[in-house]
């Protein structure tokens, strides 16, 4: 696995405008976090590596033509808001749907979208209750074991959809467990922020 990147801002390789939006998002996170607990307080001092770069690394793995993004369990906006910020520069016609069941976190996400002028919407709902979304990219970070993630994502797949799931040190065991119920066509990509973690890119997903 790769070692963590030492300069997360330089690693993003985006414009000054996009970098400024990311800074504004971190400032919003710091402002709201004491009241809502969007992320662990211990990670705020290292937010650029632990949250921004950790989320942004997904963007390059998405299909180049993908327009409809779906982020499951968005929480504090990772990776959904970060990817929407990158898309404002790199793929401005794409749309981003963030799903978050917690009303207070949804309010934060909507405020961030408004303040940053993003082409994104928030659905305050349990994932299981969503109508099919027809997404071309589905993302999730620290949401659920892979076997459950497959069940949550499957109803929302568009043809040739790519699922980008961030997984920790137990990823191999999670894949083995998921393969009991699911046929998976996937690639593994080393995380830029955690030497024990990977990004699992599912290129095809179907029931066994």
* DSSP 8-state code for residue 3: P
Tokens standing for residue 167: 């997984």
Q: Please state which of the ranges 4-8, 71-75, 121-125 shows the lowest mean pLDDT.
A: 4-8
Q: How confident is the model over 87-112, as pLDDT tens digits? A: 999 999 999 999 999 999 999 999 99
* Tokens of residue 95, six digits: 């749309």
Residue among 187, 188, 170, 179 at smallest CA distance from 206: 179
127 labelled binding-site residue: yes
CATH superfamily, region 8-207: Vaccinia Virus protein VP39 (3.40.50.150)
80 labeled binding residue? no
Q: How many CA atoms lie within 13 A of 109 on its CB side?
A: 30
- Alpha-carbon distance of 164 to 141, in angstroms, equals 9
Tell whether pTM > 0.85: yes
Q: What is the rounded distance in angstroms from the CA atom of residue 80 to the CA atom of residue 72?
A: 8
- What SS3 class is residue 63? coil
- Residue 78 assigned ligand-binding role: yes
Give the domain ranges of the chain.
8-207
Count of beta carbons in the 10 Å neighbourhood of residue 122: 24
73 is in an annotated binding site: yes
pLDDT tens-place string over residues 108-141: 999 999 999 999 999 999 999 999 999 999 999 9
Q: Is 24 annotated as a binding residue?
A: no
How far is residue 12's CA from residue 91's CA, in Å, rounded to a whole number? 15
Of 40-54, 75-89, 96-110, 150-164, the one with minimum mean pLDDT is 40-54
CA gap 146, 151 in Å, rounded = 9
């Amino acid at each position: 696995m790769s070692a963590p990147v030492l300069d997360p801002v330089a690693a993003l390789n985006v414009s000054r405008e996009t970098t400024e939006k990311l800074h504004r998002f971190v400032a919003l996170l710091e402002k709201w976090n004491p009241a809502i607990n969007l992320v662990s307080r211990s990670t705020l001092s290292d937010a650029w590596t632990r949250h921004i770069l950790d989320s942004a690394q997904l963007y390059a793995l998405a299909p180049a033509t993908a327009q409809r993004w779906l982020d499951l369990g968005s929480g504090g906006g990772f990776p959904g808001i970060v990817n929407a910020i990158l898309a404002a520069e790199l793929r401005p016609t794409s749309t981003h749907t963030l799903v978050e069941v917690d009303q207070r976190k949804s309010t934060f996400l909507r405020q961030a979208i408004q303040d940053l002028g993003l082409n994104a919407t928030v659905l305050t709902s349990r994932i299981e209750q969503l109508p099919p979304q027809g997404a071309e990219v589905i993302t999730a970070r620290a949401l659920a074991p892979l076997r459950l993630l497959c069940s949550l994502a499957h109803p929302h797949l568009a043809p040739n959809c790519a699922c980008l799931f961030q997984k920790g040190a137990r990823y191999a065991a999670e894949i083995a467990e998921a393969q009991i119920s699911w046929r998976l066509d996937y690639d593994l990509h080393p995380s830029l922020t955690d030497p024990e973690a990977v990004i699992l890119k599912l290129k095809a997903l179907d029931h066994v």
